[in-house]
Amino acid sequence: MPPGTAAPATAVLPVRRFDLAATLGSGQVFHWRTGHGGFVGLIDRTPVFLRQAAAGQLEVTPGAEGVASEYLALDHDLDAIVASFPADDTALARAVAYAPGLRLIRQPAWECLATFITSSLKQVPHISRISHTLRERHGDPVPLGEHVLWTYPSADAVARAGEEALRRCGLGYRAGFLASTARLVADGALDLSFLTDPAVSDDDALARLTAAPGVGPKIASCVLLFAGQRLGFFPIDVWIERTLRERYFPRRRKFPPGFLARFARRHFGPYRGYAQQFLFHHARTAGATAAG
């Protein structure tokens, strides 16, 4: 927030086992900005200020408590989720202890898919810059007190912008993928409602997503985990692959295709998506992949 501006008004939402900073800073979303001891951003099209000054309280823009609670997955039973993890897994236990209140954010489907298409092989600060540039050039303005926030552009807006305009937002070769996938979504050829449809199996959902331009298994797994809230998906990127190799197989040099994914499915249990996020956040921010 610009210096000198007044802090937004807030209401208090009781929370349990929740860490706002870890949740918003764990590489799931990239558009929240800091200010007045909290974070300001949009949940879809709803402008929200969030601040956690005490462990059991979350300050929220009045009227946005329900939207924030849904988005931040405050309904997830973290005690039960963590209790399902292997009891003898010390690497995972350290990661959980590092950020015990981390939640898997329940993200808007198109925004999540588009963001992870643009995020491939990039670092978090770069992804954040791209997200804000896309919003400011192709999204809609939404006021929050003295501030103006920008929505993530709709699939139709992205498709109309076209590849060249997207390249000027810093997307590089991913611009073509994003423009093509946006057109599929805008035209209804890719209806993202299947992400949360319990009648659509995980395998079918994965196949539908990976048929879209620029969407490989890792990106699709992220979208199914976050936007679909399919907590059994375990995205494997370079951080997670390194963590699994160094923490679980330090003496093994070669791995057959799919070995780590099969290990994750067998070892981490039904909530392995949470295990992945704990491990990822710890590895990226605490140097957990160092030996020792």
Q: Is residue 283 part of a domain?
A: no
Structure tokens at 177: 């993928």
Q: What's the pLDDT score for residue 288? A: 39
Q: What's the pLDDT score for residue 4? A: 58
Q: Is residue 124 part of a domain?
A: yes
Examine the fold and report which residue of 60, 75, 90 is the final residue of a domain before the chain moves on: 75
137 and 182 co-located in one domain: yes
Angle between helices 259-268 and 238-248 (to 10 degrees): 70
Give the three-state DSSP class for 284.
Answer: helix
* pLDDT lower than 70: segments of the chain: 1-4, 121-122, 287-292
121 and 71 co-located in one domain: no
Q: Count, in order, helices (H) and strands (E) of the chain.
A: 13, 7
199 and 153 co-located in one domain: yes
125 and 210 co-located in one domain: yes
Examine the fold and report which residue of 50, 75, 100 is the final residue of a domain before the chain moves on: 75
Q: Is residue 23 part of a domain?
A: yes
> Tokens 């329940």 identify what position?
106
CA-wise closest residue to 235 among 207, 208, 252, 216: 216
67 and 115 co-located in one domain: no
Mark out the alpha helices in 99-168 (DSSP H runs).
Answer: 109-119, 124-138, 155-167
CATH code for position 150: 1.10.340.30
Residue ranges making up the domain that contains 29: 11-75
CATH code for position 32: 3.30.310.40
Structure tokens at 93: 């236990």
How many domains would you assign to the chain?
A: 2
60 and 133 co-located in one domain: no
Burial pattern 86-103, b for ≥16 Cβ within 10 A else e, equals: eeebebbeebbebbebbb
Q: Is residue 32 part of a domain?
A: yes
65 and 115 co-located in one domain: no
59 and 115 co-located in one domain: no
125 and 202 co-located in one domain: yes
48 and 133 co-located in one domain: no
Q: Is residue 91 part of a domain?
A: no
Taking the complete model, does pTM exceed 0.85, yes or no? yes
Q: Is residue 286 part of a domain?
A: no
Examine the fold and report which residue of 75, 93, 125 is the final residue of a domain before the chain moves on: 75
Q: What's the pLDDT score for residue 289? A: 40
Q: Is residue 165 part of a domain?
A: yes
126 and 208 co-located in one domain: yes
Q: Is residue 84 part of a domain?
A: no
